[in-house]
């Protein structure tokens, strides 16, 4: 079995049968087992069930990976606080609420529609660049570059004012 990372998806995908892993062990349902237990079924039915099983494991693996990318473990943190205002922090810290809203509208208006959409999904909704890329069906680097360009436009706007 070709097993590159020993996760459930990889184990199931590279097995000839359908693999179920649980706390008590691993169970593999082979084609012969399936046909013996289901006399009215065919090899095509087993292949369809195997494909469905692979798809379910793949989606579960992706969900775990997405969640893992959102979690960051800080093992050693220096007690000295370092503070550098981001462009978003500067917008938020504007003293007057009306002024802050006006600045935000102007800064957002300077972005392209794609930049604005991706920036708002990332900052306001808290989605990762990977999540946005999956939603839009594009490469993650494109999303990252769009968000960086949007931040740069905000910074340029703030530098001018």
**Tokens 């990252």 belong to which residue?**
144
User: What's the pLDDT tens digit per position in 31-46?
Assistant: 888 788 888 888 888 8
CATH class held by domain 87-160: mainly alpha
Mark 24-59 as b/e (b = at least 16 C-beta within 10 Å): eeeeebeeeebeeeeeeeeeeebeeebeebbeebee
Helices and strands (DSSP H and E) totals, the chain? 8, 2
Give phi and psi for 5, each to the nearest 5: -145, 10
Provide the pLDDT for residue 129: 92
Provide the pLDDT for residue 4: 45
Residue among 47, 64, 67 nearest 8 (CA)? 64
User: What's the pLDDT tens digit per position in 48-82?
Assistant: 877 877 777 777 777 766 666 555 454 554 555 55
Provide the pLDDT for residue 120: 86
* 125's tokens: 């909704």
* 108's tokens: 């957002």
Q: What angle do CA 137, 147, 100 make, to 5 degrees?
A: 130
What is the average pLDDT value for the chain, to the nearest integer?
75
What is the rounded CA–CA span in Å between residue 19 and residue 43? 17
Residue of 134 and 82 predicted with greater confidence: 134
Q: pTM for this structure?
A: 0.41
């Amino acid at each position: 079995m070709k097993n590159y990372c020993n996760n459930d998806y990889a184990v199931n995908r590279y097995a000839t049968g359908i693999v179920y892993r649980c706390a008590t062990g691993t169970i593999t349902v082979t084609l012969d087992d399936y046909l013996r237990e289901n006399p009215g079924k065919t090899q095509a039915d087993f292949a369809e069930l195997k494909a469905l099983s692979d798809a379910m494991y793949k989606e579960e693996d992706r969900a775990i990976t997405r969640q893992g990318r959102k979690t960051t473990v800080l093992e050693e943190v220096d007690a000295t606080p370092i503070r550098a205002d981001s462009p978003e922090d500067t917008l938020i810290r504007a003293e007057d609420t009306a002024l802050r809203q006006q600045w935000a509208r102007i800064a957002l208006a300077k972005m392209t529609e794609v930049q604005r959409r991706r920036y708002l999904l990332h900052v306001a909704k808290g989605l990762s660049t990977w999540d946005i890329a999956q939603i839009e069906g594009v490469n993650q680097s494109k999303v990252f570059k769009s968000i960086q360009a949007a931040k740069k436009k905000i910074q340029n706007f703030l530098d001018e004012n």
